[in-house]
Amino acid sequence: MVRLNPYLSFQGKAREALEFYRSFLGGEVEISTYGSMPGMTDDPAEQDLVMHGQLETDHGLTLMAADNPSSMPYVAPSSGVTVALTGGPDDLEYVQAAVTALSDGATDVMPFEKAPWGDHYGQLTDRYGVSWMFDVGPA
């Protein structure tokens, strides 16, 4: 089965971000560091940075992330790319919990509430600069 998954870039915050996302999305985080892969970086200060991290949730969500070492250009999250967390009426409580957690330290917040078209909708930019959109449709 082919899957399309968000892959987020960080500068030294990938582990922290994945653990934060796990705190409300649930699931397990797996992390490989640059130090665990010989030849990935020669800088001793970068050995513990996340080369690849992955959060797999019980809801079937996958969120991946990595830290950029100094040898690679860093591309900050942009408002042109948004992580969308969507679902149906049975997912309303789960999505609301995610919105509540992500709102701590967030900017550009559009409240998650009933929209004119009938869905619950909202958006924000989280404390790490990642844009999120939320939509829960009716039955």
- Find out whether 135 and 120 touch, Cβ atoms under 8 Å: yes
pLDDT of residue 77: 79
Domain boundary assignment for the chain: 7-67, 82-136
- Name the fold adopted by 7-67: 2,3-Dihydroxybiphenyl 1,2-Dioxygenase; domain 1 (3.10.180)
pLDDT of residue 3: 84
pLDDT along the chain (139 residues), means of 10: 89 97 98 90 90 96 94 80 94 97 96 96 96 93
pLDDT of residue 81: 83
Its pTM stands at: 0.91
pLDDT of residue 70: 87
pLDDT of residue 90: 95
pLDDT of residue 136: 97
- Name the fold adopted by 82-136: 2,3-Dihydroxybiphenyl 1,2-Dioxygenase; domain 1 (3.10.180)
